[in-house]
Amino acid sequence: MPTETLTQPHATTAAPVLTTTMLNVDAGAFMLDVEQAAAAGTALHQRYANAEPFPHIILDNFIDGALLRSLLDEWPSSGERIGYERSQERLKFEWQPVNLHTPRLRAFLSEMISVPMLRFLENMTSIPKLIADPHFIGGGLHETRAGGHLGVHADFNIHKPMNVLRRINLLIYLNDDWAPEWNGALELWTRDMSRKVHSALPLMGRAVVFNTDLDSFHGVPDPIACPPDRARRSIALYYYTAPEAGLDAVPDRTTVFKPRPGSQDKTDWQVMRRHMLADWIPPVVYRALRGNPKS
């Protein structure tokens, strides 16, 4: 199967996927409609469930474009936290709501963890009882600057403060006039890392939703080549469930980077060693060694 590259808007609908009602235009306050969101999720379920290489969907015109563009007026220019500066990840910055002091961005992030959004995602993915993350651990506003990249990886799976299992990623892009030659496409790879299946540019209003499994490999591995006055901007949101049997039988994984076949990508040996210890040492001992006793 050839790689599908999405450069221009794909499957654009006449109206946004999710309907918004403005409550206060100046403050950027809005609400999603729970019935409309639930119905939209149901309508997209088969497309999501049948997607390869793992359940996912790429949606253009996800939420009102004017609303998304208004967020850029408040996009921060300082106070960012860099995730890492290493071979696997460079020049990628993030902000959580605790670092934000403007009404539109805070209102938007708040509505993204509301009941209508949960109903949309539950119906589309068939994963019940989703839990939003009020901490926005690893999420919030993301920005990758010129020269930056994020290697192909599978995400961390356990939210330690809430003791829940990560299940869904939602990425919303905010980049007008993004040129293909600037790179920045999100790549989805097969579970065995043998082949890239999809490549989607981070176009304004585009959203990507996918199951977060231990082998749902994705990334932005090619260095961003945008002009210095531009950056790749997105909003990242993660959703969880609380397994009835608890998390004792669930492997504890941080972000796992994988080198692409035939590339110069580097293996993250530090993480590999950590996971080997986690798999061989009894969980209660491992948690004690990590300074993370079970609450």
Three-state SS letters, the chain: CCCEEECCCCCCCCCCCCCEEEEECCCCEEEECHHHHHHHHHHCHHHHHCCCCCCEEEECCCCCHHHHHHHHCCCCCCCCEECCCECCEEEEEEECHHHCCCHHHHHHHHHCCCHHHHHHHHHHHCCCCCEECCCCCCCEEEEEEEEEEEEEEECCCEECCCCEEEEEEEEEECCCCCCHHHCCCEEEECCCCCCEEEEECCCCCCEEEEECCCCCCEEECCCCCCCCCCEEEEEEEEEEECCCCCCCCCCCCCCEECCCCCCCCCCCHHHHHHHHHHHHCCHHHHHHHCCCCCC
pLDDT greater than 80 at residue 42? yes
pLDDT greater than 50 at residue 275? no
Supply 251's token pair: 């492997």
User: How many angstroms separate the CA atoms of 18 and 170, rounded?
Assistant: 14
Whether the predicted model's global pTM rises above the 0.95 cut:
no
Give the pLDDT confidence score for residue 253 in this predicted structure. 85
Preceding amide of 283 cis, omega within 30? no
Contacts of 98 (CB under 8 A, 6+ apart): none
What percentage of residues in the chain have a pLDDT greater than 70? 85
Give the pLDDT confidence score for residue 79 in this predicted structure. 73
Supply 179's token pair: 């040129």
Give the pLDDT confidence score for residue 248 in this predicted structure. 85
User: How many angstroms separate the CA atoms of 59 and 57, rounded?
Assistant: 6
Distances from the Cα of 57 to the Cα of 3, 11, 12, 43, 104, angstroms: 15, 11, 13, 12, 26
96 within 8 A of 139, measured Cβ to Cβ: yes
Distances from the Cα of 1 to the Cα of 4, 53, 190, 210, 214, angstroms: 9, 11, 11, 20, 23
265 within 8 A of 222, measured Cβ to Cβ: no
pLDDT greater than 50 at residue 293? no
Q: Which of 83-92, 131-140, 241-250 has the lowest mean pLDDT?
A: 83-92
Give the pLDDT confidence score for residue 290 in this predicted structure. 52
- Rounded to an integer, the average pLDDT of 245-260 is 88
User: How many angstroms separate the CA atoms of 255 and 270, rounded?
Assistant: 11
31 within 8 A of 23, measured Cβ to Cβ: yes
Q: Rounded to 5 degrees, what are φ and ψ at 34?
A: -65, -40
Instruction: Please give the mean pLDDT across all residues of the chain.
Output: 89
**Which residues sit opposite 154 in a β-bridge?**
256
pLDDT greater than 70 at residue 174? yes
